[in-house]
Structures are given as C-alpha cells and as structure tokens.
Amino acid sequence: LANNLDEQLAKLRCRVNYHGLRFTKPIRKLGQELGMKTRKMSNRFIAIHLRFEPDMLAFSGCYYGGGDKERNQLAEIRKRWETLP
C-alpha cells in the first residue's frame, strides 16, 4: 500500500520515515566522540556519507530530487523486486 500513495502522502511518508530514524545511543556517543576528537586535531576536516546505495533508495519508495533521470533509474531498480507493486 505504501507504494500506491498519491504524491503528497508519499512525500509525507518519506519525511516521517527520515525523521523517525535514530541511531542507538552507543552509535550517537561514538559519533560525538569522533567529532570532538576531529575538532581537537584541526579546525578543518572532511565529512563523507558512506553507502548511499541506489537499491536502498529504490526500496525506500522515496524520491530524492534528482529529476527525471533519477526517477527512471529508481523505477528500473524497483522492477527487480517482484514484491513491490
């Protein structure tokens, strides 16, 4: 049912899912410690996002603002799952 929502409800579902995700306390603590150690070492550092995979994007059913090219790519990936409508 989640993949058959009208566009506004789909956007709301994606926003709620995004804001509902929280790391566990040990992971948050480790992240804070890494951040503080990095800041102590230098006032400049680079942050990277690890593993924002296309299949994860497709399975989420959400749209991430990449235009028609992204929509078409995600639609092709979604076709691989027989369980998705």
Total Cβ atoms within 10 A of residue 74: 21
Q: What stretches in the chain show pLDDT beneath 50? A: none
* Chain segment 49-61, per-residue pLDDT in tens: 666 676 677 777 7
**Which pLDDT score is estimated for 32?**
92
- Burial class (CB within 10 angstroms; exposed 0-12, middle 13-18, buried 19+) of 51: exposed
Predicted TM-score of the model (pTM): 0.44
- pLDDT for res 26: 94
Per-residue model confidence (pLDDT) at position 29:
95
> CA angle at residue 32 from 31 to 34, to 5 degrees?
65
pLDDT of residue 84: 61
For residue 59, the SS3 value is helix
